[in-house]
Structure formats: structure tokens, C-alpha cells
Amino acid sequence: MVKSNLSAVTEFILMGFIEQPKWEIPLFMLFLSFYLVTLLGNVGMIILIRVDVQLHTPMYFFLSHLSLLDACYTLVITPQILATLATDKTVISYSQCAAQFFSFTVCAGTECFLLAVMAYDRYVAISNPLLYTAAMNPRVCWTLVMGAYICGVSGAILRTICTFSLSFCEDNKINFFFCDLPPLLKLACSDTTNAEIIIVFFSNIVILVNALVIVISYLLILKSILRIKSSGGRAKTFSTCASHLTAVALFYGTLTFMYIRSGSGTSLEEDKIVSVFYTVVIPMLNPLIYSLRNKDVKAAFRKITGRFQVSE
């Protein structure tokens, strides 16, 4: 009855940061710099891993896919933010909104699984270094990565169906800079209870399972490290996990912060700030974390730049 009495929405208007028009130009320049640094860092990391033979190991294979996901994050979200800032508001069709929501959710879900896979990889490398290459052979690596993508896509399909099976009537102004879940749920004119229950239930399962894999992996890693007699050996072994631990802390720290806020009646303005962090800032920081804290990556970069200098 609700659907028959109200006209269905065929397009949405993204309002972005329209409440602070004086900040639009500074924010545009800031997000543009984030966009360029993120693309340069992640695409550069993928090329570096592809070109340098010394980086053809399971750890860097997984890292290249993490960089691919981060690059996709920024390609899906940041251009929309820039367009919204440049024009005050952006019109996006219903199908484009659904496609953006699906693509973003695929990246987020797959990254969650991939971080767990990378924790398992570190456990195998530290607990069985002599058998590491055999245990993490190319077939196993591809199976783990494809499993992460399949799980990410499956979760995205579920979230997208639950969200866009809701009714959106007359009011089509999204007080956000891209099609994210919180503003879409607030805009829906039908009951969102069932959709929210399904989305929250499966999201919690995904987060808890992957977090459990990471925690168990690092507990076993810690157990293996404590068996090393020399303090220098323990520090050197643990340093191979430092970059991954930092990336995990950023990703799950943001998720934890979101869940703490979710029960306290937060506003969309606060949601915008958190969304900027996990869609724009974290994808920019990940390649910096893995390059600045990793001597192998820095050595490969110096080697590549040295070749260009010699060729000139």
C-alpha cells in the first residue's frame, strides 16, 4: 500500500558537505591530494611487487591484492566526493547508487578477509620457516585470495539486496557524499527492521570470524617468537609482522569505533567523518605503512629507481 501511494525514487541527490560551503574549496584540494597519493602509492606498490623478483613471495602477493583493493576503494568513492564538493550536490541514478554501494562493500568485505589471510600467512612463515614456501605455494595463495574475494562479493550481494529491496519514496536527498548504508536506511520509507537485522547479523559474523583468525594467528606467532633465545632474533622476527599489525589496528580500530558509536544515537555528520577515514584515509595510509616500515620494499624501490637513472 505504501508503494502504490508514493512515487518511487529513480535518482538520488548527494548533498555532501553542503552545510559548510566555505570549506568546499579547501576540502576539494585535500581530497584531491588524498586521491592522487592513494592511487600513486597503491598502483606503485603493485608495479613494484610485479617487477622485482625478490618480492615474488606469498606475503607480497597478498600485499599486492591489498593494494588493489585500496586503489579500488578510492576509485569508487573519492571521485564522487570531489564531484559533490565541486558542484555542491551531485545527482546519481538509482542503479548507479546501487552499483557504488555494491562496489564499496565488495572492497570492504574482501579486505576484512584478506587481512585475516595475511595474518595466517605470517603465522606459517614464523612457525615453519623451512616449510613456508611449500606450505604457501602459488596454488594455496591463489585459493586463499580467491576465497577472500568470493566471501567479499557474497557479503556485498547480501547487503545490496537487503538495502535496495527497501522502498525509497519522494525524498531522494542523501545527506552524504556517497551511497553508504546509514543514510540510505534513514532515507527509506519502508520498514528497515528486517534488513538491518540481516545486515548486522552477517556483518558481525564476518568481523568476529576474521578477528578470531587474526587473534589466534598472532597468539601462535607470539608463542613461536618467545621460543627464540636471542632478543635480536625475536625483534627481527616480530618486525616482519609490524606493518600488518598496523594495518589491522587501523582497520579494526575504525570498525570498533563505529560499533561503539552505533548505540549512542549518532548523527550523519559524525558518520561522514568516520566514513572519510575508512574510505579515503586508510587506503592512503596502507601503502605508506608497508613501504616506510619494510626494508625489502625500500630496497626494491631503490633498485628500480637506480635502473631508471642508469638508463638515462
- This prediction has a pTM of 0.88
- In angstroms, the CA 158 to CA 206 distance is 13
Which segment, 75-79, 145-149, 164-168, 239-243, is predicted with the most confidence on average? 145-149
Percent of the residues in the chain that have a pLDDT greater than 90, as a whole number:
34
CA distances for 146 relative to 150, 205, 305, angstroms: 6, 19, 32
| pLDDT of 6 strictly over 60 | no
Amino acid at 311: S
pLDDT digits (tens, 9 = 90+) for 246-277: 889 888 888 777 665 655 555 666 777 777 88
H/E element, 92: strand 90-93
pLDDT digits (tens, 9 = 90+) for 285-299: 888 888 766 777 777
Greater model confidence, 172 or 68: 68
- In angstroms, the CA 149 to CA 107 distance is 9
Where along the chain do its domains lie?
Answer: 2-311
Greater model confidence, 276 or 33: 33
* Confidence bin at 43 (pLDDT 50/70/90): very high
DSSP-assigned states of every residue in 155-175: HHHHHHHHHHTS--BS--EES
- In angstroms, the CA 134 to CA 145 distance is 17
| pLDDT of 232 strictly over 80 | no
| pLDDT of 158 strictly over 90 | yes
Greater model confidence, 307 or 35: 35
CATH homologous superfamily of domain 2-311?
A: Rhodopsin 7-helix transmembrane proteins (1.20.1070.10)
| pLDDT of 106 strictly over 70 | yes
Angle in degrees, CA 89, 94, 95, rounded to 5? 120
* CB contact at 8 A, 78 and 35: yes
Q: What is the pLDDT of residue 27?
A: 84
| pLDDT of 113 strictly over 70 | yes
Please count the CA atoms within 13 angstroms of the CA of 173 that sit on its side-chain side. 8
Q: Name the 3-class secondary structure at 312.
A: coil
* Confidence bin at 3 (pLDDT 50/70/90): very low
| pLDDT of 221 strictly over 60 | yes
pLDDT, mean of residues 281-287: 88
**Average pLDDT of the chain to the nearest whole number:** 84
Percent of the residues in the chain that have a pLDDT greater than 70, as a whole number:
86
